[in-house]
Chain A
Amino acid sequence: MEDIPKLPLDHWIDDGLDFLTDNFSFLTKIVSRHLEDGIDHIVEGLMYFPPWVMIIIFALIAWRLASYKMGIFTVLGLSLLWNLRLWESTMETLTLVIVATFIAILIAIPTGILAAVSKLANRIIMPLMDLMQTMPAFVYLIPAIPFFGLGTVSAIFSTVIFAMPPTIRLTCLGIKQVSPELVEAADAFGSTKTQKLFKVQLPLAIPTIMAGINQTIMLALSMVVIAAMIGAGGLGGEVWTAIQRLKPGMGFQAGIAIVILAIILDRITQKIGRGRVA
């Protein structure tokens, strides 16, 4: 094996990325600056109100969308985070998750639809999904930096890529799962493809799509934490600092905060999906 020269796969990928950076980084840097500003504004917005106001708002949302139990959990959980002086980090992380999820959904749903209606698109998209999902999450961090620089935007970029696949897959699945008899009924009344999509297939796929979005949010949360390594800040930043300074207490404290946030986000989005089925 030693005699056969190594395939310079790493060089090829680097060359490709270099080419892209050389030619497009001026563009991505502009996007990066604006996005960063936008994110800062959102965080500022969330921090504008005193935490107790925000806790009440979040609890109300949890109560309305999930259950009164979830409302109570939200009050207790977020109060604990406030008390641990992790409020700002939590808001930063939440913002990253929301922005990344939003962008991911914006890309994933149309992609999922495309994969469902076009065989060719399906054959291209599905292997890409496999690749994106099996690639270790850290790897996405590296190329993000030359394009977007260190910081939140790189974090969001890699998070979007990492978190997108479930929504793409489940959008595609949800559409394909619609009973053939219903699709046929739509056809029999003379629906165009667009009418069929928006009046029958998509509405019926919503519970499945919501399950995908729920997964995407969970993945986004986990990735946002990892992305602290490239300066994303937030709760992940706390964990990262704790690792560097070997402070297990600080690390677990932030870890618990992440778990609380995860539970709240998960239950709320799960219930939205199920609510639509009934």
Chain B
Amino acid sequence: MEKINVVNLTKIFGSHQEKALRLLDKGISKDEIFNKTGQIVGLADINFTISQGEILVVMGLSGSGKSTLIRCINRLVEPSKGQVFINGTDISTLDRNALLELRRQKFGMVFQHFALFPHRNVLDNVAFGLEIQRMDEELRYEKARSALKLVGLEDWEVAKPSQLSGGMQQRVGLARALAVEPDILLMDEAFSALDPLIRGDMQNELLTLQARMHKTILFITHDLDEALKIGNRVVLMKDGQIVQIGTPEEIVLSPANEYVQKFIENVDKSKILTARSILISTDIIASPTDSPQAIFTNMQDNCLTRILVVKSDNTLLGTVSMEGIQIAISRNEQTIANLIETDVPTATINDSLKILISILAEWRWQLPIVNEQHKLLGIVNHHNVLAALK
């Protein structure tokens, strides 16, 4: 289901927008428009959708328009052109009260520099959104407490924000956003001000929370690693325009242009790419009912020392080795059923190359990839894992 739909969204900063809009339509660049008209292009013709439960990460360098974009979603910034639909409602049609109501009910926002209220203690910070909704005190604090618990800060209720570390402050910021039980979380560089270690923790925590809450999250960052780690899909922006939009794997595997290419050069691909993208299908398999002699021939033809054994419904049973086959032939057995070694490691198509590498390091042979029913989907081997990381 589409939660957020952004259509032809354009934002010009300045007092003579008409002229800038016309130049923009002609395809004139942001810099040139600024030179000619003094108007700053914040966003130029942005289109994308976010579905319910998805984490969409917007990534771009400073000044690329990320903050402007996220603020157009809850109309903290008024778009110059185009629409934003939330649950199908065009929010530019809302009057002042309806807009306030929308912000109160639907959105939770987390800020780069936390934006905690220094005159309020942690609990009252977290309860802020509920207070704005005019919720009565008892219920408000109850909800704020459970939000604090979500981020593990239940013991810090009465502390002032200034008494907390950066990481803790941002947890409070996150709790404040979660307390209103929003459908949509807007996170503008929420982790950018944190130390790398704390930042990694917060990313993991967000993913853990998300696995439970299934919010729709628009996450802004200028860090591609963060984008690829957190995002179900990633939007790459430059000068107010979208350069590429896709899953982390799509972006890493097929960068849209040189600009993206340069970005992903330093990315640790082993964390992004999954077995899905390097999977090799294989038909060199044995069935448990095959005769050892037939398998022996098959293996010799393909120079194999070991072969996967798969039932007729494609369920992976294990492997047999060349030695096993030879023993079976010498004993004159009819099938290989008794020789199957079941201790073969497996992986799923969603496992990252990093995981595959750690398995392959121990297992000196190809690695079968299976689905939840343990049916064989294909294999990966040392060679194609390394090739993908090249």
For the complex, is B101 an interface residue (Cβ under 8 Å from A)? yes
- Distance, CA A187 to CA B78, complexed state (A): 13
| B119–A181 CB distance below 8 A | no
Which residues, 115 to 137 on B, are CB-close (under 8 Å) to A? 115, 117-119, 128-129, 131-133
For the complex, is A204 an interface residue (Cβ under 8 Å from B)? yes
Which residues, 73 to 115 on B, are CB-close (under 8 Å) to A? 74, 76, 100-105, 107, 109, 111, 113, 115
| B76–A189 CB distance below 8 A | no
For the complex, is A203 an interface residue (Cβ under 8 Å from B)? yes
Q: Which listed residue (B101, B107, B113, B118) contacts A188, Cβ 8 A?
A: B107
For the complex, is B180 an interface residue (Cβ under 8 Å from A)? yes
Q: Which residue of A lies closest to B186 (CB)?
A: A188
Shortest distance from the beta carbon of A103 to any chain B beta carbon, whole Å:
28
Report the number of A-B residue pairs with Cβ-Cβ less than 8 Å: 52
Which residues, 181 to 196 on A, are CB-close (under 8 Å) to B? 181-182, 184-192, 195
Task: Indicate with 1 or 0, residue by residue over B172-192, a CB within 8 angstroms of chain A CB atoms.
Answer: 000000001000001000000
| B117–A200 CB distance below 8 A | yes
| A182–B109 CB distance below 8 A | no
| B101–A184 CB distance below 8 A | no
Q: Specify which chain A residues have a CB less than 8 angstroms from the CB of B111 in the assembled complex.
A: 181, 184-185
| A185–B118 CB distance below 8 A | no
Q: Which residue of A lies closest to B129 (CB)?
A: A189
Q: Which listed residue (B101, B115, B118) contacts A190, Cβ 8 A?
A: B101
Q: Specify which chain A residues have a CB less than 8 angstroms from the CB of B129 in the assembled complex.
A: 189-190
| B109–A190 CB distance below 8 A | no
Q: Specify which chain B residues have a CB less than 8 angstroms from the CB of A188 in the assembled complex.
A: 74, 76, 103, 107, 109, 186
For the complex, is A199 an interface residue (Cβ under 8 Å from B)? yes
Q: Contacts A181-B111, A182-B115, A184-B115 given: A191-B76 contact, CB under 8 Å?
A: no
| B100–A192 CB distance below 8 A | yes
| B115–A189 CB distance below 8 A | no
- Distance, CA A186 to CA B117, complexed state (A): 9
- Distance, CA A192 to CA B131, complexed state (A): 12
Which residues, 37 to 61 on B, are CB-close (under 8 Å) to A? none
| A187–B76 CB distance below 8 A | yes
| A189–B118 CB distance below 8 A | no
| A189–B180 CB distance below 8 A | yes
- Distance, CA A195 to CA B129, complexed state (A): 11
Q: Specify which chain B residues have a CB less than 8 angstroms from the CB of A190 in the assembled complex.
A: 100-105, 129, 132-133
Q: Specify which chain A residues have a CB less than 8 angstroms from the CB of B107 in the assembled complex.
A: 188
Q: Specify which chain A residues have a CB less than 8 angstroms from the CB of B133 in the assembled complex.
A: 190
- Distance, CA A191 to CA B131, complexed state (A): 9
Shortest distance from the beta carbon of B193 to any chain A beta carbon, whole Å:
12
Q: Which listed residue (A185, A191, A192, A204) contacts B115, Cβ 8 A?
A: A185
Q: Contacts A181-B111, A185-B109 given: A191-B132 contact, CB under 8 Å?
A: yes
- Distance, CA A190 to CA B128, complexed state (A): 10
| A181–B115 CB distance below 8 A | yes
Q: Specify which chain B residues have a CB less than 8 angstroms from the CB of A189 in the assembled complex.
A: 103-104, 109, 128-129, 132, 180
Task: Indicate with 1 or 0, residue by residue over A209-239, a CB within 8 angstroms of chain B CB atoms.
Answer: 0000000000000000000000000000000
- Distance, CA A189 to CA B102, complexed state (A): 9
Q: Contacts A187-B76, A190-B100 given: A199-B113 contact, CB under 8 Å?
A: no
| B101–A182 CB distance below 8 A | no
Residues of A with Cβ closer than 8 Å to B?
179, 181-182, 184-192, 195, 199-200, 203-204
Residues of B with Cβ closer than 8 Å to A?
74, 76, 100-105, 107, 109, 111, 113, 115, 117-119, 128-129, 131-133, 180, 186
A-B contact pairs, 14 of them (CB 8 A): A184-B76, A185-B111, A185-B128, A186-B128, A187-B103, A188-B74, A188-B109, A188-B186, A189-B103, A190-B102, A190-B103, A190-B129, A190-B133, A200-B117
